[in-house]
Amino acid sequence: MKRSMLGMKKQSLGVKQSLACALLLAITSHPAAAANLVKTYSYFAIGGSTLDDIEAQLSKRGPEVKSTGTRHPGATQMAFTTRISYAQTPSSCRIADAVVTVKVKVILPEWRRPRKADADVRLFWDTLSADIKRHEERHVEIAKNHGGELEEALKATYPQKNCDAAKAKAAAITAAVLARHDRAQLQFDRVESVNFESRILRLLRYRMERIGNGRLPPA
């Protein structure tokens, strides 16, 4: 396994961002609300019959991440949309309801496997591509969890003196939760990057054992 290929995954994506997501806002004791999730997938094709070929193809064709200015083997694009309704009385205004929708697009590689590709290359690709997908799905999960926390925090706010103040409070809560989300995503990527090589080698050994035991078809 070439080290250049293993170093490739110090990356991923989308909006990269923090796993330390304790919500320092007033939230109720019951589980956080589940934000609406809209998820789609997109694929980009790569070729190549060797690890070097595949690495070059991923570097050339992978999605470009604006935050880093470089291309990566996978990406998750995400956007948070919040719909808030207010209830006003002569002396106060409160958030009556809040609905958060997290829209994500997962971008993954699709290898157009040539017939001449060696079995060890196919095995490595199967392992790597599965890990890329797992990584991006975790980005989605982090986004959805923070969307739920945002929805819960908005619903738990106290009445304000007027609706302008209630709207300002909602904006402040949204900014705080999304900042925590960003840090959570970044922290996740840092941990994944540090552990990439050992993780891939462990996954390769596990996959080879399963093939040897007949529990997986050969690559």
pLDDT, residue 66, reads 74
DSSP secondary structure string, 49-118? SSHHHHHHHHHHHSPEETTTTEE-S-EEEEEEEEEEEEEE-SS-EEEEEEEEEEEEEEEEEEE---TT--
**Residue 63 within a domain:** yes
Can you give the pLDDT at residue 174?
97
Give the separation between CA 167 and CA 125, rounded to whole angstroms: 49
Decide if 208 is inside a domain.
yes
Residue 43 lies in a domain: yes
Residue numbers of the domain that contains 151: 3-212
Tell me the pLDDT tens digit for each residue of 107-156: 999 998 887 778 888 888 888 899 899 999 999 999 999 999 999 999 99
Residue 219 lies in a domain: no
Please indicate, yes or no, if residue 201 is contained in any of the structural domains: yes
Helices 119-155 and 196-212, packing angle to 10 deg = 120
Give the full edge-to-edge strand order of the sheet including 93-111. 36-46, 93-111, 75-88
For residues 178 and 72, give the distance between their C-alpha atoms in angstroms, rounded to a whole number. 23
Q: Which residue has the tokens 């690890």?
A: 51
User: Is residue 23 assigned to a domain?
Assistant: yes
pLDDT tens per residue across span 37-85: 999 999 999 998 888 888 889 888 888 877 667 788 899 999 999 999 9
pTM value > 0.85: no
Does a structural domain hold residue 217? no
**What's the pLDDT score for residue 29?**
33
Contact 97, 85 (CB under 8 A): yes
Place of tokens 């396994």: 1
The answer to whether residue 52 sits within a structural domain is: yes
Local confidence band at 24 (pLDDT 50, 70, 90 cut-offs) = very low
d(CA 138, CA 22): 18
Total structural domains within the chain: 1
| pLDDT band (50, 70, 90) for residue 162 | very high
